[in-house]
């Protein structure tokens, strides 16, 4: 995932975009077939998931050419009743060269589905990623409209009447955007070649072209991180506006690339929001990675934690089955998942059911047997009253403040750590963070992957599952480059950075939206992002929040107590 926000993990990564190329998958498929021949792998005689949820919603999974034969064919036919091609219908797979369409693999898929009574989802028509260079190249508006029309007309037209639905537009909302007060969702769009070449109406045009080419298929907008309140509000506004204009859009697809630290309440909030718009909802790319999983595999405790997350999700999906059309998993075995290093699927590499399968099969029963642990009491840091000068020099007044550790690792078992001190006056919170990190790097274009410190403040300390107006996320790199998270920029924020012998020091002033007073408790957290020499984030350390959701939820932040 590529975000301004400070989420750890792949998100959606995020979280959250499958970048396996078709050729790469073919090699993996070939190797997987050879491995099966050696092991003579067979699927287990388990109750099919599609039967368990019959009458509620469809149960789906990804499709690759390997699913035509062997145990992978058996797995799909046994458990699922709808498939989505993982890569073979993306723009670069369909039309790598202008005017040359490659339908063979997808034709084999639709034939397989028709022969075996499976429904098929088309994925995807208009996207900025996995799109050929010629299609993304700069050009005039009319030429770009022609490219969009020709691609959609040929691809959707070729499969007209054969598919359940299309993911028409994929991932068009800018990460970190927030719906303005006037509801103008178009101001929140990602800067993509389609937007630059055509304008904001490329989304309307894509849906119109898709409907003309395949009038009986359901048409979806699909995106990741739609459990983030800001992004969900933008998607809901988009859907409502398009519907009002008579644009043929039917539903919203929630990709659902999650982790075991997911606050499931954020998913419920978005489901309720989308339900109110009247949109049909599909869970389009579900998987749940295990945070900090070791490459040797999951422990029993980790497998249960993953299963608990799946159980919570399916308990929720059951509650919203009146508006959910399908739930599609993005992979069935861990070893062939695009997030394989974190073991996200229901079945292991030998096609054996993990705890997650049993959690999906019986969510309530699983949670009764494995009840959720209560969230521990948050760590508290005391802020002493005082006003320092923000210049990277540690004023004497900082000696009055107690130092607290920042060392709860949420992404890896080791990496950069640090300490934090806090001060306050009526108008501001002051923070001093010392980071121990011998390798400093800011090469990544993603601010959250650079060596940096993130500060989180919730003035009302309501521990909510999404950001409210008083909440803020503030990021300062080791070179003092400042960026902001979910609620955007806050005027008056000030920072200074000083490189030290063993890392760097960040001193910052966070302006308050209310007047501070002695005894008040605010929500507060600190995050240290650790980059390696290649510009890759390799670890995250926190003051309190052990999840990877501080960028969108205040629920597990620590406390900040204002004292004299």
Residue 171: active-site member: yes
DSSP state at residue 393:
S
Active site residue 223: yes
Q: What is the spatial distance between Cα 167 and Cα 180, in angstroms, rounded to a whole number?
A: 26
Distance in angstroms (rounded) separating the CA atoms of residues 60 and 50: 8
The whole-angstrom separation of Cα 268 and Cα 270 is 5
Phi–psi pair at 423, nearest 5 degrees: -130, 170
Closest CA to 472 of 463, 453, 485, 454: 485
Q: Which residue is catalytic, options 171, 355, 451, 454?
A: 171
Residues 561 and 441: their CA atoms lie apart, in Å, by 33
Counting Cα atoms < 13 Å in the Cβ hemisphere of 401 gives 29
Q: DSSP string covering 225-291, please? A: -TTSHHHHHHHHHHHHHHHHTT----EEEE--EEETT--HHHHHHHHHHHHHHT-EEEEEEEEEEPT
Answer yes or no: are the C-beta atoms of 176 and 4 closer than 8 Å: yes
* Count of other CB atoms within 10 angstroms of residue 377: 9
User: Which one of the listed residues 285, 459, 545, 548 is annotated catalytic?
Assistant: 285
Q: Are strands 521-531 and 537-542 parallel, antiparallel or unpaired?
A: antiparallel
Question: CB burial class (10 A; 0-12, 13-18, 19+) of residue 182?
Answer: exposed
Question: In the chain, what are the helix, strand and coil shares in percent, each to the nearest 5?
Answer: 30, 25, 40
359: Cα within 13 Å, side-chain hemisphere: 25
The tokens for 194 are 């389609």
> In whole angstroms, what is the distance from residue 208 CA to residue 206 CA?
5
CB-CB contact of 48 with 42 (8 Å): no
Do 542 and 408 form a contact (C-beta atoms < 8 A)?
yes
Q: Give the integer Cα–Cα distance in Å for 535 and 446.
A: 9
**How large is the angle between the packed helices 229-244 and 202-213, nearest 10 degrees?**
60
Q: Choosing from 223, 287, 325, 530, which is the catalytic residue? A: 223
What residues contact 532, with CB distance under 8 A and at least 6 apart?
439, 441, 538
CA proximity to 473, closest of 539, 404, 552: 552
- Over the range 480-500, which residues count as b (16 or more CB within 10 Å of their CB) and which as e? bebbbbbbeeeeebebbbeee
CA distance 113 to 128: 28
> What are the catalytic residues?
171, 223, 285
């Amino acid at each position: 995932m590529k975000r301004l926000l400070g989420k750890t993990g792949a998100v959606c990564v995020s979280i959250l975009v499958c970048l396996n190329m078709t050729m790469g998958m073919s090699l993996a498929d070939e190797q997987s077939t050879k491995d099966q021949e050696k092991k003579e792998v067979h699927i287990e005689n388990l109750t099919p998931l599609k039967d368990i949820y019959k009458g509620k919603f469809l149960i789906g999974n990804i499709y690759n050419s390997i699913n035509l034969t062997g145990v992978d064919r058996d797995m799909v036919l046994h458990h699922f009743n709808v498939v989505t091609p993982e890569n073979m219908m993306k723009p670069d797979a369909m039309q790598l060269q202008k005017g040359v369409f490659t339908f063979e693999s997808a034709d084999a898929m639709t034939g397989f589905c028709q022969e075996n009574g499976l429904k098929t989802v088309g994925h995807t028509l208009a996207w900025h990623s996995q799109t050929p260079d010629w299609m993304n190249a700069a050009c005039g508006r009319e030429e770009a409209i022609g490219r969009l029309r020709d691609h959609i007309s040929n691809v959707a037209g070729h499969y007209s009447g054969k598919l359940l639905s299309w993911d028409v537009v994929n991932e068009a909302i800018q990460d970190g955007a927030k719906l303005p007060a006037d509801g103008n969702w178009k101001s929140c769009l990602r800067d993509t070649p389609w937007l630059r070449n055509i304008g904001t109406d490329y989304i309307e045009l894509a849906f119109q072209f898709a409907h003309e080419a395949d009038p009986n298929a359901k048409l979806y907008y699909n995106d990741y991180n739609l459990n983030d309140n800001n992004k969900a509000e933008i998607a809901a506004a988009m859907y409502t506006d398009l519907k009002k204009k008579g644009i043929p859009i039917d539903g919203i697809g929630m990709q659902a690339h999650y982790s075991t630290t997911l606050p499931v309440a954020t998913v419920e909030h978005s489901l309720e929001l989308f339900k109110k718009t009247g949109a049909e909802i599909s869970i389009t790319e579900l998987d749940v990675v295990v945070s900090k999983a070791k490459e040797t595999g999951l422990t029993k405790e980790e497998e249960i934690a993953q299963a608990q997350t799946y159980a919570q999700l399916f308990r929720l999906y059951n509650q919203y089955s009146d508006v959910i059309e399908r739930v599609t998993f993005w992979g069935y075995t861990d070893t062939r998942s695009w997030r394989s290093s974190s073991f996200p699927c229901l079945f292991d590499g030998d096609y054996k059911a993990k705890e997650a399968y049993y959690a999906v099969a019986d969510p309530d029963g699983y949670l009764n047997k494995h009840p959720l642990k209560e969230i521990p009491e948050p760590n508290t840091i005391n802020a002493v009253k005082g006003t320092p000068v923000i210049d990277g020099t540690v004023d004497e007044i900082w000696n009055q403040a107690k130092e607290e550790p920042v060392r709860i690792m949420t992404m890896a078992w080791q990496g950069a750590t640090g300490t934090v001190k806090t001060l306050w006056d009526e108008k501001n919170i002051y923070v001093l963070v010392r980071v121990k990190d011998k390798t400093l790097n800011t090469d990544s274009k993603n601010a959250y992957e650079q060596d940096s410190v993130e500060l989180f403040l919730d003035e009302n300390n309501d521990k909510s599952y999404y950001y409210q107006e008083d909440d803020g996320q503030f990021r300062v790199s080791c070179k003092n480059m400042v960026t902001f998270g979910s609620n955007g920029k806050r005027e008056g924020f000030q920072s200074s950075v000083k490189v030290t012998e063993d890392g760097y020091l960040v001193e910052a002033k966070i302006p308050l939206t209310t007047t501070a007073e002695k005894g008040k408790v605010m929500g507060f957290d600190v995050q240290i992002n650790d980059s390696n020499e290649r510009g890759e984030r390799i670890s995250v350390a926190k003051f309190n929040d052990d999840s990877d959701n501080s960028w969108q939820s205040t629920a597990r932040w620590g406390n900040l107590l204002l004292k004299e």
